Amino acid sequence: MTARRAGLAGALLMIVFMAVNLRPAIAAVGPLLTEISDEFGLSGTAAGALTTLPLVFFGSYGLVAAFLPRAPRGETLLVSAMALLVGGLVLRLVDAPAALFAGSLVAGVAISIGNIAMPAIIKRDHPSRITTVTAVYTLAVTAGASLSSGFAVPVEDLFDASWRLPLGLLAIPATLAGLLWVPRARRPQHRLLYTPDAADAEDTEDLVARTTHH
């Protein structure tokens, strides 16, 4: 593999690892909602709010960003988003309804930041292949949601644990994703890992095709 392709593959992996963390905090709640509601005695309305509250705040960062004198770098936003997400996930484990809802709110804000920062980074770093890389990003987001929703109850049953275990475990990949992006966030200014050229779009499609067929 050439240095250019190695850099491209690394960039795609970083995007994928970040993207898979942008939905589980919401998607994993659904299969566990009955158990959570029973423990805290939530009404049907309150239980529904638990899953919709994060969605309400999906656009929250966009509203705040309009008033910022200078927008933070995308990498800094992603690291901050993962830090907030981990905080929200941990807060939901506290044995109190208020903490449960507050954690969901924080998670929604974190996801809102990631939803804005990641596409912006893709547009900046991959101008010749926005469509392909965005498709990879979208697929990773969808996969993260599906996997977290599908494995929430099996993980709970496997360890004979409560709903807190599958929801708490989500903090691990979120922490790792944040740490993975720290080196890029700490750079004084963005530097491309490789020089984009007309052949990059073809390289990206080839890498994606290889991954899909294997």
186-209 exposure pattern, b = at least 16 Cβ within 10 A, e = fewer: eeeeeeeebebeeebbebbeebbe
pLDDT of amino acid 2:
74
- Residue 144: pLDDT band (50, 70, 90) is very high
Mean pLDDT calculated for residue range 121-128: 94
- Residue 120: pLDDT band (50, 70, 90) is very high
**Residue 203 pLDDT exceeds 90:** no
Report d(CA 186, CA 207) in Å as an integer: 28
- Residue 130: pLDDT band (50, 70, 90) is very high
User: Which domains are present in the chain?
Assistant: 17-67+79-185 (1.20.1250.20)
- Residue 192: pLDDT band (50, 70, 90) is very low
**Residue 200 pLDDT exceeds 90:** no
Residue 24 backbone class (left: φ over 0; alpha: ψ -120 to 50; beta: rest): alpha
Highest averaged pLDDT of the listed ranges 44-58, 61-75, 115-129: 115-129
pLDDT of amino acid 184:
93
Instruction: Tell me which residue of 166, 121, 159, 131 sits closest to 19, measured CA to CA.
Output: 121
pLDDT in tens, 12-52: 999 999 999 999 999 999 999 999 999 999 999 999 999 88
The residue among 60 and 111 whose pLDDT is bigger is 111
pLDDT of amino acid 53:
84
DSSP string, the chain: --HHHHHHHHHHHHHHHHHTTSSHHHHTTGGGHHHHHHHHT--HHHHHHHHHHHHHTTTHHHHHHTT-SSPPPHHHHHHHHHHHHHHHHHHTTSSSHHHHHHHHHHHHHHHHHHHHHHHHHHHHH-TT-HHHHHHHHHHHHHHHHHHHHHHHHHHHHHTT--THHHHHHTHHHHHHHHHHHHHHHTSSS---SS---TTHHHHHHHHHHHHHH-
**Residue 177 pLDDT exceeds 50:** yes
**Residue 188 pLDDT exceeds 80:** no
At 129, list the tokens: 């292949």
**Residue 97 pLDDT exceeds 80:** yes
